Amino acid sequence: MALVAPGGEYFPICMADGTLVWGAHRYAELAGDDLEPLGSFNGSVPCLARKSVGKGSVYYCGTNLGQAAERDPAGLKAVLRMAAATAGIEPTGRLHAKLPGTVHLDILSDGAIPRFAVVVSRADREQAVQMDGRGCWQGIFSDVVWELDGSTRIIVPADFAEIFQIGIPDAGK
């Protein structure tokens, strides 16, 4: 597949799954033993690649995905998601928002016992969020109460920020 793009600050990169993302300013063709191609401009020589090294992986990027994120963050997000998945990293509380990247969760604990949760949503509308947790979460600044029992679906309001006190049944035993 040949990609045709006018010259300029940004250029398309075709990912291995067929999606298009954007690179910026620089383009380097990558080569090396055991490289797994992840994306290329011309459909044959990669500018995004991964290589297994020891027990981990190294991601090589022959373009400025961070600068291209100004136009569209999809490329940078795709590589970061791949790296996190390869490393076995999951969001806190296995949080999955309907609008990806708009809700953040931090858990504050006393040893192994979660005591508080900070939830921030930058979304401009309410959304469903799936997350793992237990107990009664009571908002300190609002009347919001969430009852969590394992993987639970929660509706998070638009432009929301709250600190929850977590009441865990039998936490003191």
The tens digit of pLDDT for each residue in 82-116 reads 898 888 888 888 898 888 889 999 999 988 889 99
Indicate whether 101 and 154 sit together in one domain: yes
Indicate whether 64 and 27 sit together in one domain: yes
Res 138: pLDDT? 96
Residue 157 is classified by DSSP as P
Indicate whether 71 and 22 sit together in one domain: yes
Q: Is residue 35 part of a domain?
A: yes
Res 170: pLDDT? 56
Res 35: pLDDT? 93
Res 169: pLDDT? 61
Res 3: pLDDT? 46
What does each C-alpha distance from 28 to 23, 43, 152 come to in angstroms? Answer: 11, 14, 45
Domain count, the chain: 2
Indicate whether 77 and 97 sit together in one domain: no
32: nearest Cα among 11, 16, 47: 47
Indicate whether 46 and 82 sit together in one domain: yes
Indicate whether 81 and 122 sit together in one domain: no
Range of the domain at 71: 10-87
Query: 3-class DSSP state for residue 138?
Result: strand
Indicate whether 66 and 116 sit together in one domain: no
Query: 3-class DSSP state for residue 81?
Result: helix
Token pair 């953040």 in the structure block, residue: 104
Threshold 0.75, pTM exceeds? no
Res 149: pLDDT? 93
Res 2: pLDDT? 43
Token pair 């490329």 in the structure block, residue: 75
Which amino acid does the sequence have at 15? M
- Which stretches of the chain score pLDDT less than 50? 1-5, 171-173
* 123 contact partners, CB below 8 Å, separation of at least 6: 97, 99, 102, 103, 156, 158, 159
Q: What's CA 113's distance to the chain center, in Å?
A: 26
Identify the helix (H) or strand (E) that includes residue 75: helix 74-87
Do 50 and 97 meet the contact criterion of CB atoms below 8 Å apart? no
- Domain final residue, candidates 55, 87, 119: 87
Res 50: pLDDT? 95
With the C-alpha atoms ordered 92, 96, 100, 102, is the resulting torsion angle positive or negative?
negative
Indicate whether 97 and 154 sit together in one domain: yes
